[in-house]
Amino acid sequence: DTGVSQDPRHKITKRGQNVTFRCDPISEHNRLYWYRQTLGQGPEFLTYFQNEAQLEKSRLLSDRFSAERPKGSFSTLEIQRTEQGDSAMYLCASSYLGQPGANVLTFGAGSRLTVL
Amino acid sequence: SQELEQSPQSLIVQEGKNLTINCTSSKTLYGLYWYKQKYGEGLIFLMMLQKGGEEKSHEKITAKLDEKKQQSSLHITASQPSHAGIYLCGAPNSGGSNYKLTFGKGTLLTVNP
């Protein structure tokens, strides 16, 4: 297992365009999380899935954002009509529900979005 | 909502020196996770503390959890350039499902050779 993979690592787009990020979690992990991190800040929670069910979405996740996790495997995060304020690092993490008393998140390397 | 305040925001030390980073929560801590991040990369898990008074060590890094003070500290002994990076503390928002972590803003550590 190679850990959590994210693609693409870098994306530069023009304002108004749509972008999609993909996350492949660790295969036996049933929870998947998306976070957003801007320069000088800690990661901010966006949403999380348990298997294929999206169980929580942050208020940070506007209507332009949508996340899916079909079949409980990989996940995609789509941003429609991008704005310059969407420029950030988008981090994916996964964990295994059932690990007693703990929920260690394993993070991917992130997808950096720059909106011009 | 829970907030985690880290201090200092940044730290520059000479190689070989000891240092401590603190993480203080605005609410009850139900556990505390420490991660390290290299600039522009993902987070690497360091340690998890679950009980008040718990202390864990890995190589030259020691973390402690003081539940009463709602605080955790990360101590590095005899720092090396490889310790440089951003240290982030994260805590679950509740003691139940433990599924979501709130993070501090991070402490940027520079170690000069």
Q: pLDDT at position A59, please?
A: 87
**Residue A49 above 60 pLDDT?**
yes
Strand partners of residue A44: A36
**Residue B28, φ and ψ in degrees, nearest 5:** -55, 135
pLDDT in tens, A73-89: 999 999 999 999 999 99
Q: Which residues of A touch B41 (CB under 8 A)?
A: 109-110
**Residue B1 above 80 pLDDT?**
no
**Centroid of chain to Cα A94:** 10
Q: Are the beta carbons of A108 and A50 closer than 8 angstroms? A: no
DSSP three-state, residue A84? helix
Give Rg (Cα) of chain B. 13
Distance separating alpha carbons of residues B62 and B60, to the nearest angstrom: 7
Tell me what the pLDDT averaged over chain A comes to.
92
Dihedral in degrees, nearest 10, Cα atoms A11, A13, A18, A19: 0
| Number of Cβ pairs < 8 A linking chain A and chain B | 65
**Residue A65 above 60 pLDDT?**
yes
CA angle, corner A29, sides to A27 and A31, nearest 5? Answer: 135
Question: What does the buried/exposed string (b/e) look like for A16-26 if buried means 16 or more CB atoms within 10 Å of the residue's CB?
Answer: eeebebebbbb
Q: Which residues of B touch A44 (CB under 8 A)?
A: 103
Instruction: Check residues A36 and A104 and name the one with the higher pLDDT.
Output: A36
Going by pLDDT thresholds of 50, 70 and 90, the confidence category of residue A28 is confident
B51 min Cα distance to partner chain A (Å): 11
Tell me what the pLDDT averaged over chain B comes to.
92
A97, A105, A112 ranked by CB distance to B101: nearest: A105
Least confident of A82-86, A93-97, B14-18, B71-75: A93-97
A51 DSSP 8-state letter: T
Q: Which residues of B touch A108 (CB under 8 A)?
A: 42
Strand order in the sheet with B19-25: B4-7, B19-25, B71-76, B61-66, B55-58
Cβ neighbours, 10 Å, residue B42:
22
